[in-house]
Structure 1
């Protein structure tokens, strides 16, 4: 039977990957309580500019700030989504806290996946190269890849460079963009594009069948802040400013 979404993994596997990512979104939103929102201090001066310059009401601005915090916590989950998708391709498997993200079943390929090209500092890059080189040394037929799902260009090349003042190169250590890696594992030149085009359909299908409790999916920060407003009669932005900076000179007058 022909797959509905993409040819290189089963419909069931893709829907399961989407389901796991959805759980991460739900969990991330549930975590944004008022205490969590305030944990790093809210920049209410910036939010004032955001509100005025973008012509948005204060509640919309706070909702956007909460979504920004959700987005920060979800980035790693997007990388995991790609690992799960790629691990569903015949002949490959996803690593489970085993030092690699993706490997070939016959040990001819090992890969470490980063969702974006700029997520590592020099020390992290050095540690990653050394790890991939060890896999290449231990498995003489293996090619080892640093995968950048969202890269600046489409490429597949030897990873050669100067990292922390040391020259690094290995005949079987490579860096590769997301589109080229999907193509490599699937044998389909446009595999990542095919996934991109299929995702809206697959997500809609998942959401139709997903059983979610909306009340539990919503963060509690806005409702907690509004409870304080009922007594103080402040604007929502003034309430947040007071609760974050009432110890600053003059701010206790809000």
Structure 2
């Protein structure tokens, strides 16, 4: 592969992609019903979604498993966006919770010019995956952290860098905190492409990285052997619970009862469905329902 990126070596980029893929490992483990309901799903929502979207039970279970995997994978992609800067000149990625808890620190002895003309020598970065992931409390806390940094260092700026921003930008961040609009020209909201450009000196550096990324991911996956394909058993186990429910008239209602048991097995009425099944193998019942009652296998 003819390497085109000047701001990061092929060796380091491949190493970083490998580290990111390694973090997918746990999420590729198969889902059984215990793992599926680890945080207790909302049966009512699942049944509404299944009916409104006209999905099969298998599709709904698969979608929920994908959602749970995807939620964890977002953290892994955050790792990719943040720690790649450890390989870029003048950038430093502090250990988690160290050095003020900043995600990236960028220093340049020659000075860093901001859009309004100010020149500083250090930028402290708080990085977010997506522009709409901060609630008002998180916004206020982050902004006060940046204000405090400026009070302690008058030769710096603070950036909120967003991987998925509303548009390409490097602007003054002016959020509403405690009902009041606030701003400081050295506290800025910056899309990740603009931060790449600032750090590397190459206007389209982020674009360049994106263009080589698919091929590198493919090569890493191929080199490491086949990525483990999970075999999820949730749908099959729910069907077994549906059979135990004793509901004969409607397969759909039987599956609905099985889903209800994930969250409501100890609730009035539902608990009888377990207690009345004395003719069913007791060990199987214990295995299916014990985790739902919070006592584990």
TM range (shorter): 0.7 to 0.9
| Residues 1:105 and 1:33: Cα distance change in structure 2 (over 3 Å) | farther
Q: Distance in 1 between matches of 2:87 and 2:48?
A: 46
Aligned: 1:102 with 2:104:
yes
Q: Which of 226, 232, 246 matches 2:236?
A: 226
**Structure 1 position 112, deviation (Å):** 0.7
Partner of 1:133: 147
SS of equivalent to 2:129: strand
Contact 2:57–2:235, Cα closer than 8 Å, also in 1? no
**CA separation in 1, counterparts of 2:260 and 2:175?**
47
Q: C-alpha deviations, 1:95-148, integer Å up to 9, x for none?
A: 212211111245611111001011111121111112122323333222210111
Query: Structure 2-normalised TM-score?
Result: 0.71
Which is further off, 160-169 or 175-184? 160-169
- The equivalent residue for 1:158 is 172
User: Which moves more between the two structures, 113-122 or 96-105?
Assistant: 96-105
Figure out how many residues of one structure are paired with residues of the other and give that number. 249
* Whole-angstrom CA distance in 2 between matches of 1:117 and 1:208: 33
Alpha-carbon contact 1:225-1:240 (below 8 Å) kept: no
Alpha-carbon distance between aligned partners in 1 of 2:242 and 2:169, rounded to the nearest angstrom: 57
How far is 1:167 from its partner? 4.7
Once residues 243 and 206 of structure 1 are traced to their aligned partners in structure 2, the CA distance between those partners, rounded to angstroms, is 39
Unpaired runs of 5+ residues, structure 2, are: 109-120, 245-250, 278-297
Q: TM-score, normalised by structure 1?
A: 0.81
What are the residue-to-residue correspondences of 1:239-254 with 2, within 5 Å? Answer: 239-246=258-265, 247=267, 249=269, 252=273
What is the root-mean-square deviation of aligned Cα atoms in Å? 3.2
The offset of 1:205, in angstroms, is: 0.7
Q: Aligned pair 1:202/2:216, yes or no?
A: yes
Deviates more, 1:116-125 or 1:45-54: 45-54
Other structure's SS at 2:102 match? coil
Give 3-state SS (helix, strand or coil) of 1:25's partner.
coil
Aligned partners of 1:14, 1:104: CA distance in 2, in Å?
Answer: 19
2:169 paired with 1:173? no
Q: Secondary structure at the match of 2:23?
A: helix
Structure 1 pair 32–227 and aligned structure 2 pair: CA distance change class (3 A): closer
Q: Give 2:11's aligned residue.
A: 12
* Structure with larger RCO (C-alpha < 8 A, sep 6+): 1
For the Cα contact (< 8 Å) 1:123–1:164, is it kept in 2?
no
Give the secondary-structure state (helix, strand or coil) at the position aligned to 2:158: strand
Could you say if the C-alpha distance between residues 213 and 195 of structure 1 is closer, same or farther in structure 2, counting changes exceeding 3 Å? closer
Distance change in 2, residues 1:185/1:223 (3 Å): same
1:114 pairs with one of 112, 128, 146: 128
Deviation track 1:31-90 (CA, whole Å, cap 9, x = no partner) reads 854223213433455545655665654323312210101111222221121011223211
**Structure 1 residue runs without a partner (length 5+):** none
140, 146, 149: which one aligns with 2:163: 149
User: For the structure 1 residues 2 and 47, does the alpha-carbon distance in structure 2 shift closer, same or farther, using more than 3 Å as the test?
Assistant: same
Q: What residue number does 2:82 align with?
A: 83
Q: Given that residues 125 and 160 in structure 2 are in contact (C-alpha distance below 8 angstroms), is that contact kept between their aligned partners in structure 1?
A: yes
Who is 2:70 aligned against?
71
1:90 & 1:168 partners in 2: Cα distance?
33
Partner of 2:213, secondary structure, is: helix
